[in-house]
Amino acid sequence: MGTKQIGVVFYSKTGATRLLAQHISEGIQSVGANAQIFEIESQSIIAGRYQNTPLFEQLTKCDALIFGCPTYMGSPAAQFKAFMDASSDCYVQKAWQNKLAAGFTSGGSQNGEQQQTLLAMFALACQHGMLWAGLDVSQFSDDLGLNRTGSSLGLVASPEPGDPQLVATNDLQTAFYFGQRIAKLAG
Ligand SMILES: Cc1cc2nc3c(=O)[nH]c(=O)nc-3n(C[C@H](O)[C@H](O)[C@H](O)COP(=O)(O)O)c2cc1C
């Protein structure tokens, strides 16, 4: 079987989503899988089209893909949407069929429509024939104290109001757990 390769592909402008990607990757590594981080760079978007064939080749080699981006105006940031659109070649080839998929997003508000971003990622995963894995921790049904935002579709993060940290500590801890979960499911 070999070590599972988990791709974490994300866009981040000011660092919050990057921080989440790092914590997810640490969670992945902590259970013995290999985390590969892929950052969507704005300069790869030309006339609105994301162009990076080698990135898609690398993603296709992964066993699972975790998508991440900020929520902008209640949906995925345009830079990540450009990546989503560019994945259509992989869709045609069924290159990601039956891979595990999951998603995370950050927002400035606790409830800034981040769920819409996760739903867009979920739809993307379904179009690719992927198997969506949500977040299975709840402050109501277990005592881990994670997932303060109560999202089941995937990880929703935001800063704690009044705290200068980009992302609430609980969300970063949840990100670590989320990475562990996806890596274990892929294993
Ligand atoms: C153009 C724009 C639109 C935004 N729209 C939302 C939004 O709809 N909901 C929300 O919670 N935050 C919104 N934000 C805040 C960002 O999602 C938030 O700062 C995020 O953590 C940035 O991620 P990054 O640091 O990875 O770039 C918006 C920010 C920008 C610049």
CATH number, residue 53: 3.40.50.360
Digit-coded pLDDT (tens) for 149-184: 999 999 999 999 899 999 999 999 999 999 999 999
Ligand 1 mutation pick, 73, 110, 116, max ligand atoms within 8 A of CB: 73
Here the ipTM equals 0.99
For residue 74, the CA-to-ligand 1 centroid distance in Å is 9
Distance CA 155, CA 134 (A): 8
Ligand 1 mutation pick, 8, 22, 71, 171, max ligand atoms within 8 A of CB: 71
Given the CA of residue 74, which atom of ligand 1 is nearest to it?
Answer: 8
Neighbours of 185 (CB within 10 A): 16
Distance CA 69, CA 93 (A): 25
For residue 71, the CA-to-ligand 1 centroid distance in Å is 5
Q: State yes or no: pLDDT of 37 exceeds 70.
A: yes
Percent helix, percent strand, percent coil in the chain, to nearest 5 = 40, 20, 40
Q: What is the pLDDT of residue 73?
A: 98
Given the CA of residue 16, which atom of ligand 1 is nearest to it?
Answer: 25
Q: How much is the average pLDDT of 60-69?
A: 98
**Domain limits for position 83:** 5-186
* Mean pLDDT rounded to a whole number for the chain: 97
- SS3 label, residue 27: helix
Q: State yes or no: pLDDT of 91 exceeds 70.
A: yes
Q: What is the pLDDT of residue 1?
A: 67
Q: What is the pLDDT of residue 2?
A: 85
In the beta sheet, which residues pair with residue 76? 71
Digit-coded pLDDT (tens) for 104-146: 999 999 999 999 999 999 999 999 999 999 999 998 999 999 9
Q: Is the separation of the CB atoms in 139 and 150 below 8 Å?
A: yes
Number of domains comprising the chain: 1
Q: How much is the average pLDDT of 83-98?
A: 98
What lies within 8 Å, CB to CB, of 137 at 6+ separation is: 144, 146, 147, 174, 177
